[in-house]
Structures are given as C-alpha cells and as structure tokens.
Amino acid sequence: MPSSSLPSTPLLPSLSISAISTHSYAAHFNSDFCIGTVPHGGYISASFLQVASVHFSSTLHGQNQPDTSILQLNFLRRTSAGPATFVVKDVKLGRATSIIHVTLVQNDVEEAVAYITQTNCEKETGVSMHTGWSVVPSAPAGRPPEAEKWEEVTDLPFLGFRKATSHVELWMPREDARRELPAGRVDQWMRMRSGERWTNVHLGYLADYFPLLIEFMEPNGKIGKEEGAVRAGAKFWYPTLVLNLEIKKRLPADGCEWLRSVVQMRHVRNGRNDLELVLFDEKGDLVAVSHHVCLVVPVSRNVSERRKDRVNVAGDNSKI
C-alpha cells in the first residue's frame, strides 16, 4: 500500500454520477481534484467516461457495449467545483459500436462537450498485428519501487494550488537517466496513494496527469527538478482545449496497481501547446493513447472572477 503524508482522495467515489432521467445525470465535482479553482481536466475527462459507463449499464444496457474506445472532448469554458449536469444524446446505436454526445452543464451554461464511442472489447474481432513500434529511447527497465533507476517525485511544484496532483504516487527515472531522454519528455510510473486501483474510467484522469513540463524545463532543454521553476518564478495554468483519448484494451476487473505513461511535448508557440501521452500496463502492453491541445496562461486566469455574459444553454448570444 502506498504511504505518504500528502493528502489522498480516491477518484471513483469523487465522481458521484447519478441518474436524473434516462438521458441526464447529476454530478458533484470534488474540490480535492481542482487546479486552483478549476477541476482538473483529467478529473473532468474521467467524469465523462463514468457517465458513459452509467448510461450504457442502464438506459442502453441492451447494447452490451460497456467499454469506451474513443473519447473526443472539447473544453468550452472553465468548470467549477460543485453541482453539474451531464446531458446525453444517443447519436448512433450499432451492433459493434455506438456513439453518444455528452454535454456538461453548470449554472445553465455548457462547459464541455464530448463524443464517446462505446464497444465491447471481448467481442471485438478483426486484424491485429505488432508493428515494431516502441518508445525510443527507452526508459530504465523495471518498475518502482523495486527498480534501482527510478525515484519517487515528492517535490511537485505549487502543490497547494494544484491539489489534483497530490493523489498519485509518481516515480520518474533518476536524474542521470532522465537527462538521457529527449527534451520535453516525461516518463513516469503511477499508482494511487489511497490504494485505489486503476480502472478504465481512471484512464481519463491519467490522460491529463503529468509533471508541469514547462516549469520543469531547464535552460538546456532537458527536464530538471523544481528548483529551476522556483528560481524563475514560473507559475502557469495549463487549461486543456481539446483532449482525445483512444483506449486499446479493457483493464482487469480488479484494476491495476501501477500504470506507466510517456508524455511528449513537441512545441510551444504563442501560449499554445501540444502533448502526446501513451499509457502502458505493468507487462508493457499499450493501454491508451491521448493527444492534447492546451494553453499556457498566467495563473491569474484560473482564479479571476467568472464572466457573467457567457453563452447559455439555449444559445442566447445577445449579451456577448
């Protein structure tokens, strides 16, 4: 069991999705999973996955498609801790796959929208092949805490502001091995501090969980430790605009203790950033692939007063 003095809150109980009707669901976003005043993007992504799971186990149980294969998520506006509603539209119901459109609403305003594709992994058939693809250069062999060349990261920057990052035990290659990796790349093993095990719903959370790449970058372009970020006074917020997630397999029914992810940031231009993240299980099998577009903005954008003239659900643009 992981042990740490850092606060730890299990993810799944914090999603609290309950049916209002056949196509609407109530949620309550836990402030423990916030970055500043805004719920963590991965927490919101996991909430969408949980809505799909509940919808296909209740309203659409006859489809027998319990597994999300694709999540395409757009964040329209800042979300907030507290009550929320998810509204579902059944777009396409098929024998092999089905697609739903899900809208997240808070205070009568659409905050995020997603298309979610469901399937049944146990019934999928078709061509399978190994292409020889691998992450190059590779990280040190083995899995922590036994592996010698991995170390736990306990000094995540600005942890009081980024509460959502405190719930995961994070291990990265030791400093000498880390410097051999390409610039803008993070290689990490993760498990929940609470002892909760990773399930497919958790993959939405992990698709947006990684150290702050820009604040870890040293002048030579390599990933360094927190001191460089503190010296520079860096304190940014990284709101996600778009998150796409493809899930390759169903994790075991009792979950996984550890998952590994490799995150690559290619280029930052004019405050807009791209990210690719790939997730592996303990056997090295590919679990999921995610791509992001996110912004790099001053932290004041996170805590500033919310505008009163946002577009409402009815599409009233008169106040803009």
Q: What pLDDT is attached to residue 145?
A: 83
Q: What is the largest CA-CA distance in the chain?
A: 61
Per-residue pLDDT of the chain (320 residues; tens, 9 = 90+): 444 555 688 999 999 899 999 999 999 999 999 988 899 999 999 999 999 999 999 999 999 999 999 999 999 999 999 999 999 999 999 999 999 999 999 999 999 999 999 999 999 888 888 888 888 778 888 888 888 889 998 876 666 667 777 899 999 888 887 777 777 888 999 999 999 999 999 999 999 998 765 655 544 444 444 333 333 444 677 888 999 999 999 999 999 999 999 998 888 888 888 889 999 999 999 999 999 998 887 777 776 776 655 555 433 322 22
Round to whole Å and give the CA distance between 168 and 125: 35
**48 CB-near residues (< 8 Å, 6+ apart):** 71, 73, 86, 102, 104, 112, 114, 116, 204
* Identity of the residue numbered 81: A
Half-sphere exposure of 14 (CA within 13 A, CB side): 24
Distances (CA, A) of 9 to 51, 59, 168, 317: 20, 30, 9, 39
- Concatenating the DSSP letter of every residue in 53-98 gives HHHHHTTTGGG---EEEEEEEEE-S---SEEEEEEEEEEEE-SS-E
Q: What pLDDT is attached to residue 53?
A: 97
List of domains in the chain: 12-121+142-303 (2.40.160.210)
Round to whole Å and give the CA distance between 286 and 292: 18
Round to whole Å and give the CA distance between 38 and 81: 7
The phi and psi torsions of 49 (rounded to 5 degrees) equal -65, -40
Judge if the upstream peptide bond of residue 145 is cis by omega within 30 degrees of 0. Answer: yes
Round to whole Å and give the CA distance between 115 and 214: 30
Q: What is the pTM of this model?
A: 0.87
Round to whole Å and give the CA distance between 259 and 207: 11
Round to whole Å and give the CA distance between 109 and 22: 21
Round to whole Å and give the CA distance between 67 and 119: 5
Q: Taking CA 229 as the corner, what is the angle to CA 150 and CA 9, rounded to the nearest 5 degrees? A: 60
> Rounded to 5, what percent of the chain is helix, strand, coil?
20, 35, 45
